[in-house]
Every structure is written in C-alpha cells, then in structure tokens.
Structure 1
C-alpha cells in the first residue's frame, strides 16, 4: 500500500514535467520557415502563437511560398482561415462570387455598426448611391483647392516650419498626418472642423479612442477562440471594457457632428455647399444611429488609410534619395499653390504613392467569411463559415506579379514613356493590386485619396526635407499598416536651388 502511495505521489510530481517536455518538443517541431504544422484538436495553435506578434509577415511568407499562393491555417476546435495572394482568387471573391464572401460583420459591428464598410445588400447599395455624389469632379476640385489647401497652408506646413526653425526638434510625423487627415475628412464630408491640427497640438482624446477601438476590434479577428472576446464583452471586462469606453467617445463625437449639422440645416434655407452628411440627412434618413455609423465609417477610412500611405512614402524616400530628387523636380514644374488639374497631372508622384502602397498597403489583409461552401479557382475547398482573406501585403511581395526586383522601391515600374517622351501612368490590374479593393465594392474615395496625398507630398517636399530620427526596418515596424511607435522625424528647410 505504501509502495502504491509512493508511486502515485511520484507520478503526480512527474506529470507536470512530462506535460512541459511535450510542449517543449511541440515547439521544437515548428521549423524556422513557419509552416503551420497541425496536431489533433489544437491544430496549428503552436505556429499561430509563435507568430502572433508578426501575423502579417508570417502569413505573407506562408502564401508566397505555396504554389497556389493560397494557404490554409487550421485553428483550434475546427476553425479554419484561408489566406490568399492569388489574383484569380481575389477576382473570384470580389467580383465573380462576391455574394459568397460578405464582410465579417459581427466582429466589427460594435465599432462600425451598419456603416457602408460593414454592410452588404440593400443597406450597402443605399449608402454607396448617396455617397457617389460626393466624389464627382466638382466636389473633388473643391476638396483639393479649398479644404486640403487650407488645412495644408494654414496648419500643417506652419507646424513643419516652426520645427525646422529649431533645427533639433523631433516630431511624430505619423501623428501630424493623422491629425491632418481627420480634420480634412470631417471638413469635406460633414462640414465640421474638429481643429485637431492646431499649432498647440491639443490632446487627441478622440484619436486615442479611435486607435484603441481599431486595435481591439482587429485583435478579435485573430483570436483562436472567439468565445473569449464575446464572454469578455458580456461581462464588460478587460479589452472589451476598454473597447466599450473608446466606442462611447467615438459615438459622442459623431452625435456632436449630427447635432451641429441639424442646427445648420434648420437655420439655412439653402446651403452654400452640400456635404456628404447633408446628403444623407436630406435624403429622408432620420435614424441618428445610422447617421452616426456612417460618420464613423468615413472617419476611419479617411483617418487611417491616407496617413499610413504617406507615412511609409516619406520613410521610403529617405532610403531612396534618387526618387525624392525626381519628385522634387516634378513638383517644382508646378505652381506653388497647386490647382486641381496640376495635382492630377503629377504622374511621377502618383506612381511613387502606388509603389509605396504596394510595399506597405494601408490595409494589409482584408477579411471576409464564406457564406456558403465554395471551391476557389486554385482548387482550394472552402466550407461555409470559413474565414477567407486576401493578403494585399503578400501580393506586393510576389515575384510572379512584380518580378525579381519586387523588393526594390521603384516608381518607374508604374510608368511608360509616351510618343513625346513624357511619363505616362501605367495602371495594374485591380485584382493584382487590390489596395483599394476591386469589383463592385472598389473604394469610392480612391481618387480623392490620391489627390489629397499628392497635394501633401508637393506641399511638404517643395519646402522641406523629412529626416527620420530612427532607422528601423520597414518589415520589423509594420504593424497593421501603421509604423510601430510612430514616425519621429526632424524637419529641415530645403534650399531654393535644391533639387
């Protein structure tokens, strides 16, 4: 009996160590090329955990080393994620079989509600139809020549000039670009000025709430057990409690914008200019919750995408001074206060932005889910309920799509010479370069985004050099499109004769 008790005690002591040894060898079995090894029940959990802080980079490596450019990741308890960088599959998802792949509505509903980027069907059609009017040529011209020009010359450039005068001040260029974008999108879309880019750089409570909400919502997508975030939301604890607080701040801002617009509409028989929010409010829509959803959706797309694209462009320019020289040459051929037509004609700048977004896209991975069973063009079998994502970041690193020099920042790959020897932009197939999505849901604000970014690039590079205050690698710092830790820079004045 004593021997039995002794044996039981020894077994009890050895059991935890045995488990640790098993775990150790499981981790050791994961090779360095990050293949998603699969085990019973837990499936590829160890590979997922090992790469959880570099998910974008890891999945990019996975799809680009497969013959089909599609990888299948088996998560615990039967959940499956299909990730692709195959243009034929992207076309299938965004055009041919678009109804099979709706948005991941549940995950983003708390934040985006019934806004245009989180709905399908009639709700999406209504919002897109009303929104289309905002992106007509007349509206774009007003945006460039009035909204962007004023924000740039009255707020953004003076801050850079003050920084340049000190010679040693380090500023977060990414933060400035986000403030610029927030003010711009609110002014053009809602007729509301949040004055986020004043010289005093006021505390960005709203912006901080946006960052927190987006980060937590994105993390929901990659949890191995969705029940965890749903339970935390039910109990109002941890990250879900922080998310609820952040969304409260965001919705308070949206409601403030709606209230001001209502007063404006009541006090004026006719408006001098009609913005996006006015169009929705005068179209017979009185649902304030939906109006708030619409505002939040447009704020997020305007505040998150163009600043990210510009941040990485200015970072890449310091690594590629010859490109900056060509940009300055093009800019100095234009007038100092660029009009709409001059901005449209900035071909080399347009190509540089496209090339920057190829390497560092504002939306690295776009997540959908399978509403029905399907077989992808590359033969991958998809079951109902699978998460299916197209990997924009990985597509920009595909040798099959961009050649052996895909890692080089080379705007010329987007250009060709016309008969007179001038550069002419050479677009790529949208399903090979889905930075702005493609098909029926292609981004309405694509041209507006390019106009805004080109105007900013011209305004900054004509007068200043943007010198990074650190030398991090792009891949190591790439976190969900933003530069990890911001983009600290020093601003230097550019000489008049400097090219």
Structure 2
C-alpha cells in the first residue's frame, strides 16, 4: 500500500511540473520578447541600463520562468550574478502573472529597507505562509507587537552575566567534554568526520542548554541519530523549498491533498513540536519545584513561561525559532570558516599566534575571547564570503521608491542579498574574492605589532541584519565561534578530505550549507597538549 501511495505521489508531482512547464511554453510562444522589452522600457525599471544583457529575459505572463527554473539548484549564486551584472546592484525579477521581485545589494537601499522605512517593509505574507507550519508565530516569522514582545523578553538573556555563563559553563563544557575528545579519537583512528554535522550537533547542544536549560546530548562519541534532529533538518529543507518555489500553487495543492513533500513536512513538524512540547512541560514542572525553594534558574524559556505566556503553541513556536537560530547559523559560519582557513595557511598562522598569546595572558576566558582581534576579523571575512543567512526578504506595505530610484509597488517582495554584497568590488575592492582578514584591521599607532579591529557599517555588511531587527545573539555567536576556533586549532589540524582540486558545493536552504557535508581528517597539531 505504501509503495502504491509513493507511486501515485510521484505521478502527481511529475504531472504538476509537466503541466506547469507545458503551459509556460505555450505562453512564451504566444508573445515575443520585443513586446516585453517595450513594456520594460515603459515601466522605467533599471533593467535597460548597461550590463542588462546579462539579466534574465522576461516574457509576458510567465516572466523569467525559464531562467528561474534553469538556476533553481544554484539560486543564491545566480541571483548574486544578476546583482553584480547590474550597474546599480539592484534588479527586478519578473515572475508569473506579472509579479515583480526586487533584489538589491546597494547599502543605501538596505539602510532604507531595514531602518529609515522599517515600518513599511515587514516580513511578507508569502514568507509567513511558507514558513508558518514550521516556525509558526516565533520571533523570526512575525511582525508588530508579537515580534516586539518576544524580542523584549529575549533581550534580557544577552547581558554580560549571561554571556559569561554561556562561555564558562556551556561552551567550555561542550568543547572539553565532547568536541575535543571526538576530534582526538578521529585523529588517533585516522577516521573521516563530517565537520558540518559535528558543528551542528555542537551548536544544537549549546542553544538548548543556554536557552532552555536542557542538554539533548546530541554530540556524543556515538553521534546518535535523534528523531528530533532528523525531523528538524527535513522541516527546514521543505519549508525553504516552499519559500523558493517557482509555483507556490504546487506545494499548496500537495498540502491540501496531504501528499509528497507536504506529507513529510507534516510528520517532521509534528515530531519537532512534540519535542518542544515535552521540553516546555518539563520546564514548567521544574519552575514549580524551584519556586518552592526560591531558586529559579532563569533562561529564555523560563522568562517566557514566567511572563504569563500560557499559550503552549505560542511558546513552542518560540522554542523552535531559537533552536533554528542557535543551531544553523553559527554552525554554518564555522563550517565555511574551517574550509577557508584550510586554504589560507598564512591566516591560520596568524590565528594560531594569537591563540597562543592570549591563552598565556592569564585573563578570564570571556575577556580572552573578546581580545582575539585577528580571529574576529577572520570570522567576519569568512561570513562576508559565506554569510549564514544569504538572503532576506521583506514585503512593501505601500508604494515606495528605493534611494536608487527603483519603484517598489505595494505587495512587492524586496530582497536584500548579503551573499552578493560580499562579492561587490565597489564595496570591497578588486580583491573581493580573496580571503583577507587584514581588510578588517589596522595597525595600532601606539603599540607596535598590535592590530585594531575596524568594523563596517551594518548596512554594508548586514550579516546579522541591521536596524531594529539586528540580531540579539550577535555577541554570543562571536564568543562561541572564537572559543571553538581556539579550542580546535590549538590542538588539531583540520584537513579537508575532498578529492584533489574539488571544492565544497555551496547549498542554501534557510541558511548556507555545504551540500553533502564537509568531510575532514583531524590531525594532532605538533606541540599541542
């Protein structure tokens, strides 16, 4: 019976795709590109400027369907190429039935969207609907008062005291008791590890401990395959597919019929929510027990539960959102960092020198991490090239013009593109393709040999967003990443176990990843403990 159901599902999916492609082909043959070019010129869009020949051809009714479909497996890179080919670093993508989508990497436009006109560029309905089954009304999928309340309550957990606790009791324990022993065993046995998987396990344990007071023990020597983690990964992948769907009607129809990827999403989300529900109920019981002793251990989940939020489904949404943010973004940043460092030995030597200098300084761990200027610069440089969240979408509530003159009609999706922004020579110079942490540093005029970090404008480098929605966990993420870098590199060489000349294949769902994982060999560093 199951085999028969899978067969019917595949037939349905193939039929839907074939029907859509057939209709688009018919439409494209009925109209000429000349008519479309005339319409584009009348609309006053910036697609007619020099370099526009590289932008995708648009047809009446179907828009740029053929180009979108042809590049569906490399969407982020393709859109980045289009932005780079536009003199204004902004272009309009025409979609089905006249829908327009604006993509930009212009810092002035980003400033306009994320700050000065923040109130008219919220999370759009398309994004909310696409992600709602997974993220619900969690902080990353809502606007207005619901977002403000969650942000206000969460912000209390990102003070200096919480950060010190996070580094000292959470990251240090996970690093010394789990990550380092697993790497040491791999080095001794000469086995290959999937570093992407290892780092996801590491950050998953950490976010659960600091945000919920719960240890899932996902990073153990046996590398357990938890139902929750597998379900979470599938929910992310399918939800991302919804968001980037060329024809949303396809996933909506599958959802209505309960077949294919939508059936799998329902099962995955159910498992994720069951995990979050159990966690919340256990936390409630713990709060009651601790209250009787006047010793309530406060974390993000406790704050929400003690603030009067009794709607269990709402708190579940919050839990899922924080797991997604704490697990996927930080692990993505670290995965690409270790790849880039392996290809740039000079930068690795500078980081090692800094680690050895700071580890013998006698300062507290938190201060030690904050003083790692070169490592901080290297992480920023890595995220410039491979931002954990490569694109972010807003939707215009009213008609508007961006600073570069691009018309934005009410209901238009506007996407700023951190991945493309990190690749613009106009922003980073002709050597933008080089991994060069020094571009974030300057020599201290008073202390020979000392570097000072030089930050960039948030709207030129919106890796952690900017404006009112700037990431609350930015400092926590940097502290965690620097502690991992120091703890790993002072003991081990991380050597990619890829075929000669092969590079990791870039892949993005809601965050940047390496397709198929990041296989590495671990070697004990000479002279390490």
The TM-score, its normalising length taken from structure 2, stands at 0.86
1:82-103 alpha-carbon deviations (Å, 9 max, x no partner): 1110101111110011121111
1:181-239 alpha-carbon deviations (Å, 9 max, x no partner): 00000000000111101111111322221221111111122222222222211111111
Q: Which SS does the other structure have where 1:217 is aligned?
A: helix
Q: Which SS does the other structure have where 1:406 is aligned?
A: coil
Unaligned runs of 5+ in 2: 1-21, 34-50
Q: Which SS does the other structure have where 2:490 is aligned?
A: helix
In the alignment, is residue 495 of structure 1 matched against residue 526 of structure 2? yes
Of residues 405, 410, 414, the one that matches 2:431 is 405
1:424-444 alpha-carbon deviations (Å, 9 max, x no partner): 110000000000000010000
Q: Name the structure 2 match of 1:152.
A: 175
Cα separation, 2, equivalents of 1:362 and 1:33? 30
Q: Which SS does the other structure have where 1:268 is aligned?
A: helix
In the alignment, is residue 201 of structure 1 matched against residue 228 of structure 2? no
**Aligned pairs for 1:3-82 within 5 A:** 35-82=55-102
Inter-CA distance 79–475: structure 2 relative to 1 (3 Å threshold): farther
**Is contact 1:181–1:306 with CA below 8 Å preserved after alignment?**
yes
Q: Name the structure 2 match of 1:295.
A: 319
Q: Name the structure 1 match of 2:136.
A: 113
Cα separation, 2, equivalents of 1:118 and 1:107? 10
Of residues 375, 380, 384, the one that matches 2:401 is 375
1:338-360 alpha-carbon deviations (Å, 9 max, x no partner): 61110111111100000000000
Of residues 136, 142, 151, the one that matches 2:159 is 136
Cα separation, 1, equivalents of 2:76 and 2:504? 10
Deviates more, 1:267-276 or 1:114-123: 267-276
In the alignment, is residue 355 of structure 1 matched against residue 384 of structure 2? no
Cα separation, 1, equivalents of 2:76 and 2:85? 15
**Aligned pairs for 1:85-234 within 5 A:** 85-103=105-123, 104-167=127-190, 169-234=191-256
Q: Name the structure 2 match of 1:479.
A: 508
CA shift, 1:320, in A, is 0.4
**Is contact 1:57–1:475 with CA below 8 Å preserved after alignment?**
no
Give the total of aligned pairs: 475
**Is contact 2:332–2:513 with CA below 8 Å preserved after alignment?**
yes
CA shift, 1:255, in A, is 0.5
Unaligned runs of 5+ in 1: 1-15
**Is contact 1:209–1:247 with CA below 8 Å preserved after alignment?**
yes
Q: Name the structure 2 match of 1:277.
A: 301
1:304-357 alpha-carbon deviations (Å, 9 max, x no partner): 101000000000011101111111111111238961110111111100000000
CA shift, 1:474, in A, is 5.5
Cα separation, 1, equivalents of 2:218 and 2:118? 38
Cα separation, 2, equivalents of 1:287 and 1:41? 44
Cα separation, 2, equivalents of 1:245 and 1:304? 21
**Is contact 1:93–1:101 with CA below 8 Å preserved after alignment?**
yes
Of residues 348, 352, 355, the one that matches 1:324 is 348
Q: Name the structure 2 match of 1:437.
A: 465
Cα separation, 1, equivalents of 2:52 and 2:90? 20
**Is contact 2:381–2:437 with CA below 8 Å preserved after alignment?**
yes
Q: Which SS does the other structure have where 1:333 is aligned?
A: helix
